[in-house]
Structures are given as structure tokens and as C-alpha cells.
Amino acid sequence: MDLFLADGACDGEPTVDALTERFGSSIKVTIPPPKNAILSPDATQNPSICDRHIADITAYGRMAWQTSSRYNHRSRIETHLIMHATHALPGSGSAVGKS
């Protein structure tokens, strides 16, 4: 795995730490910081992944950050999965399996 996309419910260093421990430091973790997030005290010397996201959002805006971080792919994947799950349900009106 080289990319992890999640919503804000997974925000926090424990998630990042667990993913880094499991997949190594090359994994790119993309979790949007809360809108009221602030930089950590040591952000200038040792910025966390969240600090880097906050700085990018501040500098370029949230929409540009979503594009550059590939975060917008998360919503596309979710929509795709929901579409397939909905069509696979009995009685969903899907033409699949009908004769």
C-alpha cells in the first residue's frame, strides 16, 4: 500500500503511526485536518503530516489541497462502491440478472 485516504474521523497521529508501522515510512497518509486545526508547536522544526496538510490548505486553499493530495479520489471511490453495492441488492431495480 502506498496511499491511505480517509475522512476526518480517522484524523490523528495514532492512525498515522499505525499505518507507518505497518506499511513503512513511504506510505502517503491523506486525512483532512479539521477546519479549525492549528499547527503543532514544533511544526517549523519537525512538521507532522497534519502540519504539512494545514500549511498547504492555508497557502493554496482546501480545494487545491484536495486535488494535489489526491484526496478527491476518496469520494470517487466511495461513490463507485456505493453504486455497485446498491445495484447488487435484491429488489434494487438493477437489470443485472434479469431475463
Any idea where the domains of the chain sit in the sequence?
Answer: 3-33+46-88
For 1-99, strand residue ranges (E) read 3-5, 28-30
Residues 72-94, mean pLDDT to the nearest whole number: 64
97 pLDDT band, cuts 50/70/90, is: very low
pTM beyond cutoff 0.85: no
Kind of pairing, strands 28-30 and 3-5? parallel
Q: Are 8 and 29 in contact (CB under 8 A)?
A: no
pLDDT in tens, 47-76: 988 899 999 999 999 999 988 888 877 666
Residues 25-43, mean pLDDT to the nearest whole number: 86
Kindly give the interhelix angle for 13-23 and 49-60, rounded to the nearest 10 degrees. Answer: 120
CB neighbourhood size of 43 (10 A): 15
